[in-house]
Amino acid sequence: MAGNRTFSMIKPDAVRDGHSGSILKMIEAAGFRIVSIKLVHLTSEKAGEFYSVHTGKPFYDSLKSIMSESPIVALILEKENAVEDFRKFIGSTNPANAAEGTVRKLFAKSLERNAVHGSDSDENAKIEGDFFFSNLEKF
């Protein structure tokens, strides 16, 4: 059965450009409930840890650098079928392929600066949520 929570980040560019409020408004209007929220400035090391699955890929160093430029907004979101619905809602990883009306179509600047992250499985949603929030904060 699909889980009801996902993890998301509003990425540094989008926060810096003042789009956090618009993106959060879209998230809530789409039926996701904010369970946890935090503004965090990642170090390059922590960004690398979060994206460790991409270690060794050509874009890994650049990703670490971009994700540690300035603060991100970390979010745990709740909705039925959260992971799949959220990925549909934000659009393709590459904004060039993102559907009209999706967050990435509206706010992403490029594949690397694609405005938001969304977990790709229930298992990763739990791991990624735990990366930013202690159990205490979730209750």
Angstrom CA distances, 60 to 52, 65, 114, stand at 9, 9, 15
Residues 41-60 that bind ligand CMP (CB under 6 A): 51, 59
Query: Is residue 114 a contact residue for ligand CMP (CB under 6 A)?
Result: yes
In whole angstroms, how close is the CB of 102 to ligand CMP at the nearest point?
Answer: 13
Handedness of CA 46, 139, 87, 40 (dihedral sign): negative
End-to-end Cα separation, the chain, in angstroms: 23
- Tell me which amino acid residue 4 is: N
Interaction mask 3-22, ligand CMP, x per CB under 6 A: --------------------
- Contact string (CB under 6 A) for ligand CMP, positions 61-100, x = contact: --x-----------------------------x-------
Q: Which stretch binds ligand CMP (CB under 6 A): 16-24, 41-49, 95-103, 106-114?
A: 106-114
Q: Which residues of 98-128 are buried (b: 16+ CB within 10 A; e: fewer)?
A: beeebbbbbbbeeeebbbbbbbeebeebbeb
Task: Candidates 15-23, 41-49, 111-119, 123-131: pick the segment binding ligand CMP (CB under 6 A).
Answer: 111-119
- How many CB atoms lie under 10 A from the CB of residue 130? 13
Cβ 13 to ligand CMP shortest distance, Å:
10
**Quick check: is 117 catalytic?**
yes
The owner of tokens 């690398």 is: 48
Binding site for ligand CMP (CB under 6 A): 51, 59, 63, 93, 111-112, 114, 117
* Residues marked as catalytic: 117
